[in-house]
Amino acid sequence: MKTLGIVLVIIGIVMIVFRTINFTTEKKVADVGPIEINKKEEKSVNWPLYAGIIVTAAGVIVLVSSGKSKA
């Protein structure tokens, strides 16, 4: 469980620092014999700041709860 908590904390911090991911996709528009026409589209994925905070908090909760010993 500690590993899951650490992973969640790291992902949450990355989500807070990098709030947008941009990438390019390439679609084939036409393929006529030896001629091929492609279209490049730039896309982005955005998430709100509170999503990163929630993931980080969940990771901290998992770390704290896994650190307690069961008696």
Q: Are the CB atoms for 45 and 20 separated by under 8 Å?
A: yes
pLDDT in tens, 20-51: 999 999 998 888 888 889 999 999 999 999 99
pLDDT at site 71: 52
Burial of 8 (0-12, 13-18, 19+ CB in 10 A): buried
pTM for the complete prediction?
Answer: 0.70
More confident residue, 56 or 35: 56
3 state SS of 68: coil
The Cα 6–Cα 39 span in angstroms is 40
Q: Which ranges of 1-71 would DSSP assign to H, the alpha helix?
A: 2-17, 49-67
